[in-house]
Structure 1
Amino acid sequence: MSNQSSEMNNQASTERQVAIVTGASRGIGAAIAQRLAADGYAVIVNYAGGAREAAQVVAAIEGQGGRAAAVQADVADPAAVRTLFDAAIERFGRVDVLVNNAGILPPALPHVADTDDATFDRLFAVNVKGTFNGLREAATRMAHGGRIVNFSTSVVGLALPGYAVYAATKAAVETMTNILAKELRGKGITVNAIAPGPTATDLFLTGKTDEQVERLAKMAPLERLGQPEDIAEAVAFLVRPGSWVNGQTLRANGGIV
């Protein structure tokens, strides 16, 4: 019986599914990485500059008996994203889930007329090109039956002044999501997007006054900010095997729009 148990454990280890979560050193990404690890995935914790924070996420996962590794990569760099997938396959043997969570939101939100070229270019480089780089790799290297979750924003629906360029990057992500789902016909891979509303992360809170945060929190019928764990729960739903949801954008926002 002991030999049989050992063989079963080895088989389970070999067949453990593998998830890449970009921008996973803090905030929503860290919550997603820990939730997927709790669900049994081996997780690649991607980070751009937060090596210490990424190591802490890995330690938290391993402390709960999970498997994880931190891998640095700027998602805006195609070569870095290829290396990210290489690292996942070298470490864990495969890629079953890609969560394109990495993104930026400038602390200042100027109107279109006041937006400089550098802000525009950086937003599109990370939010659109960064997502595209991950999608292109996943389309050819992900295991059959894989799951891709991109990140949009509920601001696409809210259309708040000052968010024009940021929302435009995420509208592009929603379009790529829907079309790639169709392009991957026959591979059993689903492609969906999550569009969070106001969520209590450093990315959201930076640059906002207490009054602005309170006003945004009260906009949803549930009258609170989302928490990273709320978004992680939505991601966990979309990556479950056998999902019939494909090519969609799920607004996880407490009913704000």
Structure 2
Amino acid sequence: MDDDTPVAVITGAGRGIGAATARRLAADGHRVVLASRTAADLERVADEVETEYGVPAHAVPTDVTDPEAVRALVDTTRERCGRLDVAVVNAGVGEPQNVPLEELSLETYDTVTRTNVDGAFYTARAALPALRETEGTLVFVGSYLGKFPSTKTPVYAASKWWLRGFAHSVAGRAGQEGVAVSLVNPSGVDTSFGRDTRGETNAERLDSEEVVSAEDVADAVATCVGQESPGTVAELDLYRRDIHEKF
């Protein structure tokens, strides 16, 4: 491929929404750089992308809570691919459900905020200089719970409220510099999310026929990426049709 082929970095790309987004953007002709903490997951997705879509896919193990690691991710992308056109800020973790606040461990609080808040900040901070050069797109993957309260997972919800405010605030600056900033808010998605914190995954807990899928979210990300200047998808809510029933 020539040097004009667009390049996308995706965090949390080893499985779920991130892996689906890698496949969707690869199908659209992007070279993809895949980041997460687990090298084996990344290598598997990279092999699948290259085999199925015939575009280069680079696996770069990265801990988004480490600002130097995130900076190295962007530097590696530019060294290998020569440019950066899209950054998808997707890495995130949850918390155990329905734990009284006074019983929620400080370790859990730190893990959620370091990944969902600090990791998003570090990724945006590292990617923006390269995105300015290409007038690219920065996409944050938020949540339904970034707009509505969660009595079950208040720390996770708060991290997504922060992300929403951060995304729109960054847009106010970056848009003046030619960078599109988008926020995608899905409701519950039937992925392996929750595996390490809740005892069961979303895929086990949710009815796959009644919720949005990782591929649905990936399509929403692609919609944001596909906008041409001066248009931008500022915020895209992708909810199951009965999401407001509990209200």
Deviation per CA, 1:112-163, whole angstroms, max 9, x where unpaired? 2322211111111000000000111122222332101112111233423121
Q: Take 2:49 and 2:141, find their aligned partners in 1: how far apart are those partners? A: 23
Which of 143-152 and 90-99 deviates more?
Answer: 143-152
Give the CA deviation at 1:226: 1.6
CA contact (8 A) 2:6 2:30 kept: yes
Write the mapping of 1:36-185 to structure 2, written as runs, cut at 5 A: 36-48=25-37, 50-64=38-52, 65-142=54-131, 143-185=133-175
CA contact (8 A) 1:108 1:207 kept: no
Return the letter of the residue paired with 2:156.
Y
Corresponding residue for residue 15 of structure 2: 26
Larger Rg: 1
Return the letter of the residue paired with 1:151.
V
CA contact (8 A) 2:146 2:163 kept: no
Deviation per CA, 1:154-190, whole angstroms, max 9, x where unpaired? 1233423121110100111101100111111432111
Which of 200-209 and 57-66 deviates more?
Answer: 200-209
SS in structure 2 at match of 1:20: strand
Deviation per CA, 1:93-123, whole angstroms, max 9, x where unpaired? 0111000010111344423232221111111
Return the letter of the residue paired with 2:205.
V
Give the CA deviation at 1:40: 0.4
Q: Which runs of 5+ in 2 are unaligned?
A: none
CA contact (8 A) 1:198 1:204 kept: no
Q: Take 1:167 and 1:134, find their aligned partners in 2: how far apart are those partners? A: 20
CA contact (8 A) 2:95 2:194 kept: no
Q: Take 1:209 and 1:78, find their aligned partners in 2: how far apart are those partners? A: 28
Which of 189-198 and 77-86 deviates more?
Answer: 189-198
**What count of residue pairs does the alignment treat as equivalent?**
237
Corresponding residue for residue 227 of structure 1: 213
Q: Take 1:79 and 1:209, find their aligned partners in 2: how far apart are those partners? A: 30
CA contact (8 A) 1:47 1:54 kept: yes
CA contact (8 A) 2:146 2:164 kept: no
Instruction: Give the RMSD, CA atoms, in angstroms.
Output: 2.1
Corresponding residue for residue 9 of structure 1: none
Give the CA deviation at 1:27: 0.9
Which of 124-133 and 99-108 deviates more?
Answer: 99-108
Corresponding residue for residue 207 of structure 1: 199
SS in structure 2 at match of 1:13: coil
Corresponding residue for residue 196 of structure 1: 186
Q: Which runs of 5+ in 1 are unaligned?
A: 1-11
CA contact (8 A) 1:111 1:162 kept: no
Instruction: Quickly say closer, same or farther: Cα 1:109–1:22, change in 2 above 3 A.
Output: farther
Q: Take 2:2 and 2:201, find their aligned partners in 1: how far apart are those partners? A: 48
Give the structure-1-normalised TM-score.
Answer: 0.85
